[in-house]
Structure formats: structure tokens, C-alpha cells
Chain A
Amino acid sequence: MTTSSKMQSRMKLNRPSVRNKTRPPKQRTPLGETFTAANLPAALSLQHCGDCGQVQYPPRELCHACLGDLVWRETSGSGVVSSRVDLHHSLWEFFKRHTAQQPWPIASIKLDCGPTVLAHVDLDSFGAAGANDVAAGTPVQVFSHSDCSQQAILIMVAASEPIATADRRHAIADRLGLLEPALKPGGI
């Protein structure tokens, strides 16, 4: 497997001495970049098949059901929790910075529109202390937001959490720490 030169330079910056300045992984494939672009104006935009209508994730070139061509369309993010865990360890310094304080919760969600997505978990909206407190099968909603690496990531919140406005979604992404490019404990 060849590592791209961009990834190589990002890997060089992924070291403990610069832990306080590291951001979430920025690396994406060209399709991943398209996911980010399609999600800038929407709460959640996923690829739909132009022929059969199937919704797709992760991003791909063709419909997984009929191999038809795909278009990005705004999609409802409602679904149910398939599985969820607290990460105590990561290979990426941004997450190490967070797991040093407390575990980082993530979940896999079966969306009502079909695909399974991985997402960061907003524990506050569930009133939960850890990922274990959110039971499998819980109805939830998923939305996208750009992190401080300027890439779209998915966030899971409780079904009752208001996420209709961009401000609300921004506030949730912010409280997860996904918008902090650097940790400055002493202030700027």
C-alpha cells in the first residue's frame, strides 16, 4: 500500500509533542471530499441512486443495489443505534487529546433510509455519562457538520434533540470539541 505524500506529512504532525495543536483526520478520498461539499448546505446529504432510489453510505461511485449512477440529496437522519462504544485509545493525536480526559464515544447507526453509518455521539442530548448508557435499538438522529479540519463528519444525537437550525447543530459540534483546532488551557 502506498501512502500519499499528503498523508505522510500529516502523519509527521501526528505526534505527541504537537498533541495540543492536532485536528481531526483531514485525509479523504475524492469521493469523501464530495461528501463534505454536499453536506455544507444541508443537515445531512447522502448519495441516492438515480435509477432505484437506494441511499448509500460510505460514499461510492455506483449504487450498491443496481449499479446505477448516484446523486447527492438531502436525507432524513433518523435511525436506530446498532452498536456503540467508548474509545479509550486512538492512533490520532486529536482523539488522544480527548481520551486523555475522558473516553470518546462513537456509535454505528442503522438509518431508516437504509445504510449503516458511524458517528460521534453527543452524550449530553441523551443525558448519558458514556456510550453504554445509550441502549442498542434507541431511536436517534444523525446530522453532519464540518469539523475544524474542514471535513464533514457525522454526529448522533437523541431523537428529541432540536437540530433544525444550523446554529443548533453548530452548538452541538462545538460542545463535542470538534471545532477546537487547538487546546489552549491558559487562554490565547
Chain B
Amino acid sequence: MRSYEGVALLAPVSFGYARQSPHTAPWFIGKTLKLMLQQSGLSKDDIDGFAVSSFSLGADSVIPLTQHYQISPRWVEQLPYGGASGVIALRRAARAIQAGDASVIACIGGDGAAHRSFERTAGEFSSFTIDSSFPYGAGGPNAAFAMITKNYMERYGATREDFARIAVDQRYNANHYEQALLGHKTLSVEQYLAARPIAGPVHLFDCVMPCAGGEGFLVMDEERARSTGLPYCLISAADELHNAHRDDPVQERGGWTEYANDLYQRAGLGPDDINLVQTYDDYPVISMMQLEDLGFCAKGEGAAFVQATDMRFDGSGPQSRKLPHNTNGGQLSVGQAGSAAGYLGVTETLRQLTQSAADNQVANARHAMVSGFGMVNYDRGLCSAAAILSGGNA
């Protein structure tokens, strides 16, 4: 695979997190774009590439949006890949920049949260969902992930106390991130364990809170990025694989296993060189799988790994091994803003690597792993994507 040399990522924006909102997806996407332009000093007409992810555009797509905002891109992309959208967007956009198909690309995920809109998304997510999972009472992906969690616990001996480590450290991080919808509340292991049950071993604090919001970043070549005067990041390596391990009866791993080694090799780094990691945390078990499959520990050792690792952004936990993880609280504590959730890890990583996070800045953050996972079509998540990003001019 050719390298992503010369491509810069910058101007991360997280916007408008709200439990419910009268505004629809075009508002969240447009407002996010406006903040990206403000931050970079660029004008609307400088944007000649536009990549969008959203579950709630209804009859619209990226093309009607160009008229909403009156922009004239010569490169467009729509990425309906749920939690993998952000990492896939940066890959697509980076290649378009390298090929010269566009010079400044805005990548944005955004969704509204109208009253009961989550029910609609869940009930009509895909044809397999409509015919073969929703009729069995599954409230969105809860049932599928409950079965995946149950299987993982029995197979590898993980306990709810282990999953609590992920949720509790993320909440600590969210307590230092202003936009986190649950950031004003603390979460203890006792509170986590006492939460009401939702499905099987999945309890309330294992589930994300659906919400509205927008996440976005700009992609351009390094020279152009330097001219903005903003700090930027580089893509050391990135890859994706979908519907991997399709014969596993229950999902225990994702496509990451097939390319994690390659990622490190291309980046010239090892797992120990990674200063922070953002996994897609729709449920703690999936974060645990990503830590395993991305080489931070061996398969089945995720539970022991999180018990022995301090995943707080500031390293203030008692464990001796430090690996800041989901440094703004992840979806579990920030909220899951539809498709924007697939961009959350990317924007947070960009803030960290450009030393522009606010109260939750990780000290000396130089290299980060950001991972995406998405689209529970029936009994498992199909998309996997991951990237190693590094600070550019910091």
C-alpha cells in the first residue's frame, strides 16, 4: 500500500452535543463546517471536497447539502459506515488529496436527535435487521452486543468488573471534557455494577446515550496546511477490512487482526510507541476486542490488560502501565451522535496530537491509534478501520 505521505489533517471540531434537538442533520453538519472554516481561516469556496456521514438525512444526501450550504465541490463522498466512517473518511480524503482530485476536503459526521428518532434508525437499520433481529425485541444493537459480550465473558473469563475499568476511566476523562453530555457526573465501579440491566450482561453504563451533534476535520496537503498556520497531524498508516472472520459463530474479533501488524510496520512504530488510543466504544467489550486485535495485548487478555492499565488521560490512576484511552470519555460518556460518533475518535486524536485539547490534554502525545467499528447488520459489527496518526509540526 502506498504511504499517506504529504497529507495533513487539521481543524478538528466537535459541535452541539445535545440529548434531543429540534435541529436536523443539515444544521449540525453546516454548523460544524462553519466552525472548521472559522478555525482555519478558510472560506466556503476554498472547500472543493466534501465528505459526509449521517443516519438522519432522510431524502437528502451529500449532494442536496451542497445546495443547502451553497458550496461547489468537485469531489464528494458519502460514507454510511457508522462507527468506522471517520477513519474511512480520512483514508478516502487523503487519497483524493494525493491524486490531486481535490485540494481542501471537509469531512463531517453529523446527526440530529429528534424525539424518538433512534427507534426509527434501529427499527429500519438494514433489511437483515428488519426481517431477522428487530422482531425479536432487540432494542437497537443491545441484544446483538449482549450476546457477543456473554460469549466473550464465557470464553475468556472477563467479568463485569473488567468492563467497569473501561467505563469508569472514560468517565474520569469525560469529567475533564466540556462537551461530554455525562461529563458532569462521576462514575464509580460500584455505581457501574449497580446499574439496571438492559440485556444479559449489558447494563446501563455499557450502553451509549443516543444524542445529536457534529464532528469534523479538514484534509489537505501539508504545504497548504502550513499556510493556514494551524498545527496539523499526519497519517502514519491506515487500513480497513469489512465482514472479516465471517465464519465465527459469535463475533470475538474484528478485521483489525488482519492488518494491525502491517499498520505498525508501515508507521515504523510498535504498540509501546503509541501514546494514546481511541477505540470505538459502542460497548466496552468492543473496546476490549480492539485493544487485543490492535496488538496492545493478546487475544483473551483484554480483561487482565485493562485491570493493569491506567486509561485516564492524565495518568492519575493507580495502575503502573499508562495508556490514555478514549481521552474525552468516548461515546459512553460523551454520547453517541449518530454517524458523528464514527468521527469522534479522529477529532479527539487531532486535538490531542496538536496539543489543542483543553483540560483533558495528554502530556507529550506524539503518536495515536484511532480505531473504528461499525454497522451491526444482523448479529455482529461488519466494518473495521484503524489509523496511526502522528503530530505533524508540533
Q: Report which A residues bind B (CB closer than 8 A).
A: 1-4, 7-8, 11, 14, 24-25, 27-29, 31-32, 35, 57-59, 82-92, 94-95, 99, 103-104, 106-108, 110, 116-120, 131-132, 136, 147, 151, 153
Contact = CB atoms under 8 A, between A and B. Distances in A.
Nearest to B200: A85
Tell me the dominant secondary structure on chain A's binding face.
Answer: mixed
A108 B251 CA distance: 12
Interface string B89-118: 000000000000000000000000000101
A118 B131 contact: no
A3 B250 contact: no
A2 B58 contact: yes
Contacts of A103: 197
25 contacts: A1-B55, A1-B56, A2-B59, A3-B120, A4-B124, A7-B123, A11-B116, A11-B119, A14-B119, A25-B134, A25-B135, A27-B134, A29-B131, A59-B132, A85-B201, A87-B138, A87-B200, A90-B139, A91-B118, A91-B119, A91-B123, A91-B139, A106-B138, A108-B249, A118-B136
A58 B142 CA distance: 19
Interface residues of B, number: 46
B196 interface: yes
B130 A27 contact: yes
B131 A83 contact: no
Contacts of B196: 88
Top 8 A-B pairs, shortest CB-CB distance:
A85-B200, A32-B131, A83-B147, A58-B132, A95-B137, A85-B146, A91-B139, A88-B197
Interface stretch (B36-44, B148-156, B233-241): B148-156
Contacts of A14: 119
Contact of B379 (A4, A95, A118): A118
Contact of A92 (B120, B121, B127, B137): B137
B287 interface: no
A106 B59 contact: no
B76 interface: no
Contacts of A29: 127, 130-131
A121 to B, nearest CB: 10
Contacts of A8: 120
B379 to A, nearest CB: 6
B139 A1 contact: no
B143 interface: yes
Contacts of A4: 124
Most buried by B among A29, A99, A118: A118
Given A29-B127, A116-B379, A85 B147 contact: yes
